[in-house]
Amino acid sequence: MGKKNKKILKAKVAPSKQPRRADVVAVTSDQGREFDGTKLATRAMHGAGAELKRVDGLQDMVNFLAGFESIRRLVFMLHGSPGALLVGPNQVDLSQIASALKASSAELRCTELIFEACNVASGGTQVASLMDALQSHVASGYACFHGWDAFKMLVHADTPAQSIEASPAFRRRKRFIVPGQPTTSDMAKKPASYDLVVEYFSSTPLPDEDVFEFGLSGQVERLKDRSQLERKTFPIRSAKEAEQYDTPVGSMTLVTFVR
């Protein structure tokens, strides 16, 4: 009886997915045109290399973040309230996010947390809980209402910088334009359609529509740009002190927590 050659079959095993390391990662629940505007804002405020991910809810966000080993700067581009974020349709305390990350066995570590949301930093103990879960060294957010938007500037050939500067759309938004974007001189040299990002702060709730186009009389004048915010820093052990800014009318303060 002759020998039979045995064919040895080797099962193909998919390589395990290694956790990623990233520089700047942002999460949002915006969709459609709002998502496009938030992407522009994220990159204007946090660098062209910032990665923006849309998440539908808490578990979706946790699943996404659990895929990272480390993130230098994690940015929350979400609606907020003191110590909480609106993730998808639900308001979620930061301590809930911390607990969900721990339950998922995520090993993510974030050096810096930034809350580009309204009033989150007034909830200092909640911020501290998420800092502890992610072993963050610093976190910052606002004790006021925060908005951002993008507006188009269509620049034609031979349009001088002075004409761009004098246009009503530019003049209304000039002091709120995020630094690092094309200047009027840049745009005059290279005519094109530009999307410029603005950010602004208010002690009272902001309208859903474009405040620069449809705001009430005097509303734009009452807005502040980032340079006009007060700045307060608290060690993480004293994070509860930030709750003094949880008032019906925002304190217009940029709050930083440090470990």
**How much is the average pLDDT of 159-187?**
97
Residue 14 pLDDT level (bands cut at 50, 70, 90): very low
Tokens encoding 28: 């949002």
Continuous segment of H or E residues that includes residue 211 = helix 211-214
What is the reported pLDDT for 208?
Answer: 83
Residues of the chain with pLDDT > 70, as a percent, come to: 93
Residues 189-206: pLDDT tens digits? 999 999 999 999 999 998
Residue 137 corresponds to which amino acid?
H
Q: What is the pTM of this model?
A: 0.91
Tokens encoding 173: 């938004």
Name the average pLDDT for the chain. Answer: 92
Question: 20-144+229-258 domain in CATH 2.60.40?
Answer: no
**Would you say residue 4 has pLDDT above 80?**
no
CA separation, residue 139 to residues 2, 19, 72, 197, 216 (Å): 74, 23, 12, 23, 34
Residues 19-31: pLDDT tens digits? 899 999 999 999 9
**How much is the average pLDDT of 91-119?**
97
Sequence-distant (6+) residues with CB within 8 A of 48 are none
**How much is the average pLDDT of 152-166?**
97
* Chain centroid to CA 245: 21
What is the reported pLDDT for 2?
Answer: 40
**How much is the average pLDDT of 223-244?**
97
**How much is the average pLDDT of 9-16?**
44
Domain extents in the chain: 20-144+229-258, 148-222
Range 235-247 burial, b when 16+ CB lie within 10 A, else e: ebeebeebbebbe
Question: Which residue blocks in 142-195 are alpha helix, DSSP H?
Answer: 161-166, 168-173, 184-189
CA angle 59, 64, 70 (to 5 degrees): 125
